[in-house]
Amino acid sequence: MSAELACLRLAVLFYFAASVAALLGIAVRRETPRAVMPRLLGIGLVLHTAALGLRSAHAGHPAVTTFDEALSFLALLLVAIFLVIQFRRPLVALGAVVSPLAFGLTLAADAVYAGARPLPPVLDSVWLPIHVGLAFLGDAVFALAFSASLLYLVQERRLKAHRGPSLLRHLPSLETLDRLNYACLVWGLVLLTLGMVTGIIWAHAAWGRFWSSDPKVLFSFLIWGIYAILLQGRMIAGWRGRWAATLTIAGFAVLVLSLVGVNVLALGNHGKAF
Amino acid sequence: MERAIVLVGLNHQSAPVAVREQVAFQNGQLGPALRRLMDLDGVHEGTIVSTCNRVEVIACGADATRLSGLLPRFLAGEHDLAEAALAGHLYTHADREAVRHLFRVAASLDSMVVGEPQILGQLKQHYAAAAEVGASGRVLHRCFHKSFSVAKRVRSETGIAEKAVSVASAAVELARGIFDRLAGKSAMLLGAGAMGELTARHLLAQGVGSLMVANRTFERAIDVARALGGMPVPWDGLSRTLPLADLIIGAASGDDFLLGPSALEDALRERRRRPIFVIDLAVPRAIDPAVNALDGVYLYDIDDLEGVIADNRGSRAAAAAKAETIVEAEVDAFWGWFTGLDVVPTIVALRDKLEALRQRELERTLAALGELDPKHRQAVERLSVALVNKILHVPVTTLRRHQADRAESFYIEAARRLFRLGSDADATDDDDAEE
């Protein structure tokens, strides 16, 4: 086993441990799991960064071009953003969604692990890290919005059902979750827009045209549209709460479909690249 | 000799409020009462605890039976009651039981609402009053300070006080599930009534920014608003003020619901669907239960709130069981210290300590002197024995002389500290840390 794969697998283990700690943190009164969870994630993140770093060094280009690299990179960004939020305000319940997501993504990356591949000439550009970085940052932020919305629906159900605050007492308040959803929506949309703009510029530089009927591009416009309508609704019509959370989850479902569908079916430029 | 701690008192379980209020000590009465308690023959130390849920006299003296007879008479006499008037309401705990009772009270295991935090402060206050007039001595000092640390342990290790206990705090706890912070939120109280006012007051104390009060009679709204520090709003223009309220407390019942889905739907639209927490305390209910179906409205009626409290009580019972084992262990520790306080064991410990020192030094000296003839050897031994006996003579006779009088525990404590006897070395550190 290469050092890179060893690091990745250790990171998977730490993400798993963080998931257990976060779930315990919601359920039990003791402080320990809540204190341990961000540390486990932090160690996982360091190992994970090392894995991707080693791989990039080995391949000679940013390791963001194959399917397993994409899954792994997305998990990395998700954990990193979550830790930034967690640092400012501890939200163990959010960790209980994010940690299993990171665990699942890295585990999947390990399952479809194919090792570094030589870079196709068309991708050999300075735009690669910029375009992919922005696009994936946007995806990670939307994943956080999804996590917050999921928690919102759980908390909202509990409050409506009059089940009291006894068991899941560490769920954040509806207000906190709704605000987080809003912030993630704004940032996600900004990043996605920038990702798409850089993609268009890159396409023009590479092929001399702005537009291609690449499925990934079409999907991105669809996702952009969904989130833009949602943000618009929030800002103008005052959409919030359950409705906003449901739409956020729906938008993320399309995003996952695009991510997995395009890559698994190897469609278009994006599909072939991976 | 005998040494005893006796506690006599009554609480919310043993006596109705009509009896409790007769024997309660007001603040000004406490000092003189403590002095009269100390004047009783056979009482070495004493403290009185008097809250709205309990009145207890705890005393330390030479004889438990004697104290058990003295204290009820004292309690009745202080309030010009016949002793028979309190019979049947009083409980008497002696020695270990008395210590356990005090620890349980401090840890809020004996409270009407188990886990409520006020009792600890009240105990501290009453102990301080006793210390001020010199009524408490070494034993009660340690006993009360131990009870404070037991309470702290129980709180931190069992989480017994973590949960909402009353309807008002259950409401606050639920509000925290909806709102990030209560600061800056505004509440509206619909109607008057003790429960509604209590809940409003609690919400304000927890940081709710402003309170509106609406009542069918505006004068009443003004009175209530003034008492709570809120603002009266007209009953007729409710549709204009309702959208401002993040929390609505329904406290008035009538033939009809005060608020229904359409009024709240309007309010929601007005406030761009920011959530509203509605608490219905009235019986019959003030707010149409159908409003809970609205997206963004969270309605809790009195039964729902009591369900929340019952949930909390359930986990409290488990916590209480754990707390009892903590109390038991601490009673054991205290009792070990307390029984060690007697003169006889202290003298024995003193002799043992010096004898051990003598043996050790003797061996060392004899080894250093090398070969000695038996005569010299005996002389050295005799010297060491004589020295120990001379050193012990005055301390031991002093201890014996003060056996069973008020200075006894002082001398015992002094001897134990000066010679570092028994488990007192670490107990002393503990004691200092407490102060």
Identified catalytic residue from B52, B227, B344, B372: B52
Residue type, position A249, single letter: I
Task: Write out the E strands in B147-241.
Answer: 186-190, 210-214, 231-233
Tell me if residue B262 falls in helix, strand or coil. Answer: helix
Please give the pLDDT value at position B166.
Answer: 66
Residues of B contacting chain A (CB within 8 angstroms): 159, 162, 170, 173-174, 176-180, 272-275, 292, 295-296, 298, 300, 304, 307-308, 311-312, 315
Helix, strand, coil shares, percent, chain B, to 5: 60, 15, 25
Sheet containing strand B186-190, strands side by side: B231-233, B210-214, B186-190, B247-250, B276-280, B297-301
Contact A274, A263 (CB under 8 A): yes
Question: pTM of the full predicted structure?
Answer: 0.63
Bridge partner residues of B187 (DSSP): B211, B247
CA distance B164 to B174: 10
Which DSSP helix (H) or strand (E) runs through B56? Answer: strand B54-61
pLDDT 10s per residue in chain B (435 long)?
457 899 999 988 888 877 888 888 877 889 999 999 999 988 999 999 998 778 999 999 888 899 999 999 999 999 999 888 888 899 999 989 999 999 999 988 887 666 777 788 889 999 999 999 999 888 899 999 999 999 988 888 876 665 444 677 788 888 888 998 888 899 999 987 767 887 888 888 888 999 999 998 898 899 889 888 899 999 888 889 999 999 999 988 677 888 899 999 999 999 888 999 999 887 678 889 899 999 899 999 877 877 777 776 677 677 778 888 899 889 988 887 787 777 888 888 889 899 999 999 999 998 888 888 889 889 999 999 999 999 999 989 888 888 767 677 778 878 888 888 765 444 444 444 333
Q: A115-138: per-residue pLDDT in tens?
A: 777 777 777 788 888 998 999 999
Whole-angstrom distance, CA of residue A99 vs CA of residue A94: 8
Q: Which chain B residue has its CA at the smallest distance from A176's CA?
A: B180
Q: Which of B279, B283, B253, B246 is nearest to B166 (CA)?
A: B279
| Structure confidence by residue, pLDDT tens digits, A70-98 | 889 999 999 999 999 999 888 889 999 99
Q: What is the rounded distance in angstroms from the CA atom of residue A265 to the CA atom of residue B296? A: 42
- Which among B180, B298, B311 has the least Cβ separation from residue A166? B311
Supply the DSSP symbol for B47: E
Q: Answer for the pair B50, B9: CB distance below 8 angstroms, yes or no.
A: no
Residue A107 has pLDDT above 90, yes or no: yes
CA dihedral A241, A246, A249, A251 (to 10 degrees): -110
Mean pLDDT across A29-36: 85
Q: Which of B177, B272, B292 sits opposite A155 (nearest CB)?
A: B177
CA–CA separation, A174 vs B416, rounded Å?
60
Q: Give the closest residue to B420 by CA, choosing from B334, B344, B346.
A: B346
Rounded-to-integer distance, Cα A274 and Cα A261, Å: 12
The C-alpha R_g of chain B, in whole angstroms, comes to 31
User: What sign results for the dihedral spanned by CA atoms B102, B107, B112, B114?
Assistant: negative
Residue contact A238–B273, C-beta within 8 A? yes
Distance from CA of A61 to the nearest CA of B (A): 45
Neighbouring C-beta atoms of residue A88, cutoff 10 Å: 8
SS3 helix, strand, coil % of chain A, rounded to 5? 80, 0, 20
Q: A215: how many CB neighbours lie within 10 A of its CB?
A: 17
Average pLDDT on A190-198 reads 94
**In 3D, which of A251, A98, A80, A61 has the Cα closest to residue A259?**
A251
DSSP A189-237: HHHHHHHHHHHHHHHHHHHS-S----HHHHHHHHHHHHHHHHHHIIIII
Distance CA A96, CA B242 (A): 37
Q: Coil, strand or helix: which one is B260?
A: coil
**Would you mind telling me the total number of residues written for chain B in this entry?**
435
CA A64/CA B432 separation, integer angstroms: 63
| DSSP per position, B85-129 | HHTTT-EEEETHHHHHHHHHHHTTSSSSSTT-SHHHHHHHHHHHH
- CB within 8 Å: A29 and B173: no
The two tokens of residue B25 are 């000590």
Is residue B52 part of the annotated active site? The answer reads yes
Of the listed ranges A133-147, A149-163, B167-181, the least confidently predicted one is B167-181
- The pLDDT mean for chain A works out to 87
B315 vs A159, A166, A242: nearest CB: A166
Q: What is the ipTM of this complex?
A: 0.82
Dihedral sign from CA coordinates of A188, A191, A197, A203: negative
Asked if residue A120 lies in contact with residue A170, where contact means CB atoms within 8 angstroms, the answer is no
Cα distance between residue B130 and residue A5, in whole Å: 71
Is B296's CB within 8 Å of A241's CB?
Answer: yes
Residue A164 confidence (pLDDT): 57
Q: Which residues of A touch B274 (CB under 8 A)?
A: 240
Distance CA A142, CA A131 (A): 17
